[in-house]
C-alpha cells in the first residue's frame, strides 16, 4: 500500500491542477479547443508529470526516459497547460500562438513541440504505438514506464483491443493503458452510443490486470501508479472515472460542451467560476462542432 499523501502534497497537486485548468479555459477562445475532455484529464496529467514520470528537458531524447502517449489527442490543452507549469513552455507562447501558422500549437499533439512523443488525434492509434515502444524497451532490457492515455469513447476502436491482445500475449507488464472515463464521446453520452460496461470485465477478458479509481482523487492515483505493474506478466489498465468539464459546474457532464469557442467575456466568467466566484450569465452561443 502506498503511503498516505500529506495535506501539503494534496494542496500542491490541487494548486497545479487549478493553474492547468486556467490554461485550458484561456485556450477555449480565439478558435477554441476541446475544453470538456481536457478538464476531465487534468488531474491525471498533473499527478503523472509532477510525481510519477521521469521525463524532462534533460532526457527528452534519452532512450531510458519514461514515455507518455496522449492517444486522446484532443486533450492537448491539458497537456500543454502542464508543460507550462513544468516550465517547458511559456504561457505567452501557449496563449498567443494557439492555432497560428507560425507555431505548432494546434488542437492535437505535435512532435515539433518538446515533450510530445507522437502525433495523435485519429483515435485508437497510439495504444499500438505505445505497445511497440514497450516491446522495444523490453528487448533492450530497459525499465521504462510506458503510459498511454485513451478516452472511453476511443475504446470503440478495434485497435485498442487488438493492442490489448498482443500486449497480453507478449506479457508487456511495462505498458499501462489509462482510460479517461468521463462518460462522453464528442457530443453524446458514451453509454448511449455504444455501451462499454462491464468495462473492467472487458479488459480482464483481453488479458489485462485492471484497477478502477476516481480519476480526480490524488490518493487513488498515487496508490494505483505506485503499485505498477499490477501483474508480473500482464499489461496494466487503470480506468479513471472522471467528470467532463471538471472544475466548472456550469459545463460539467454536458454533451454540448465538447468543443467550445468562448468569447473573451465568457472566458472571464468561467475563470471566476473556476476560482469559486459567482458565475455571471453566459449569454453568447458557444461553438459546438462534430
Q: Looking at residue 89, which CATH number applies to its domain?
A: 3.40.50.970
Query: Cα–Cα distance between 41 and 44 in angstroms, integer?
Result: 6
- Structural domain includes residue 176: yes
> Residue 266 has what pLDDT?
95
pLDDT of residue 1: 67
Mean pLDDT, all residues of the chain: 91
Q: Is the residue at 30 inside a domain?
A: yes
CA dihedral sign of residues 226, 217, 167, 122: negative
Write down the pTM of the prediction: 0.92
The cell for 4 is 498516505
Q: Over 80: is that where the pLDDT of 225 sits?
A: yes
- Compute the CA torsion angle 209, 218, 242, 54 (nearest 10 deg): -60
Confirm if 258 and 151 have CB atoms less than 8 A apart.
Answer: no
What is residue 281's predicted lDDT score, i.e. its pLDDT? 40
Predicted confidence at residue 106, as pLDDT, reads: 75
**Average of per-residue pLDDT across 269-280:** 81
Residue 247 domain-assigned (yes or no): yes
In-domain check, residue 173: yes
Q: What was the pLDDT predicted at 199?
A: 98
State how many domains the chain has: 1
Supply the pLDDT for residue 257: 87
Going by pLDDT thresholds of 50, 70 and 90, the confidence category of residue 190 is very high
To the nearest whole percent, how much of the chain has pLDDT over 90? 78
Domain presence at residue 61: yes
- How far apart CA 85 and CA 147 sit, in angstroms, is 20
User: Hey, what's the cell of 229?
Assistant: 505493474
Tell me if 85 is assigned to some domain. Answer: yes
Q: Residue 6: pLDDT above 90?
A: yes
> Does 156 fall in a domain?
yes
Is residue 287 domain-resident? no
| Domain range enclosing 205 | 7-274
pLDDT of residue 284: 35
Amino acid at each position: 500500500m502506498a503511503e498516505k499523501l500529506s495535506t501539503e502534497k494534496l494542496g500542491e497537486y490541487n494548486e497545479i491542477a487549478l493553474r492547468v485548468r486556467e490554461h485550458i479555459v484561456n485556450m477555449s477562445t480565439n478558435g477554441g479547443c476541446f475544453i470538456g475532455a481536457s478538464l476531465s484529464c487534468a488531474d491525471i496529467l498533473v499527478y503523472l508529470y509532477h510525481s510519477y514520470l521521469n521525463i524532462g528537458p534533460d532526457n527528452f531524447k534519452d532512450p531510458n526516459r519514461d514515455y507518455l502517449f496522449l492517444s486522446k489527442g484532443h486533450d492537448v490543452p491539458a497537456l500543454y497547460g502542464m508543460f507550462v507549469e513544468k516550465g517547458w513552455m511559456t504561457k505567452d507562447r501557449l496563449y498567443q500562438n494557439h492555432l497560428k501558422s507560425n507555431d505548432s500549437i494546434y488542437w492535437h499533439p505535435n512532435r515539433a513541440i518538446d515533450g510530445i512523443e507522437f502525433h495523435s488525434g485519429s483515435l485508437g492509434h497510439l495504444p499500438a504505438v505505445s505497445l511497440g515502444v514497450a516491446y522495444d524497451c523490453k528487448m533492450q532490457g530497459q525499465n521504462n514506464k510506458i503510459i498511454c492515455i485513451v478516452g472511453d469513447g476511443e475504446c470503440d476502436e478495434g485497435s485498442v483491443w487488438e493492442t490489448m491482445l498482443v500486449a497480453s500475449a507478449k506479457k508487456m507488464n511495462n505498458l499501462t493503458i489509462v482510460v479517461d472515463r468521463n462518460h462522453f464521446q464528442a457530443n453524446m453520452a458514451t453509454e448511449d452510443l455504444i455501451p462499454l460496461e462491464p468495462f473492467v470485465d472487458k479488459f480482464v477478458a483481453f488479458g489485462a490486470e485492471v484497477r478502477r479509481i476516481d480519476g480526480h482523487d490524488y490518493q487513488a492515483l498515487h496508490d494505483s501508479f505506485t503499485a505498477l505493474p499490477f501483474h508480473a506478466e500482464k499489461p496494466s489498465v487503470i480506468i479513471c472515472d472522471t467528470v467532463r468539464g471538471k472544475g466548472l459546474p456550469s459545463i460539467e457532464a454536458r454533451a454540448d460542451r465538447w468543443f467550445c469557442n468562448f468569447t473573451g467575456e465568457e472566458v472571464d466568467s468561467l475563470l471566476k467560476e473556476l476560482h469559486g466566484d459567482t458565475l455571471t450569465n453566459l449569454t453568447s452561443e458557444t461553438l459546438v462542432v462534430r
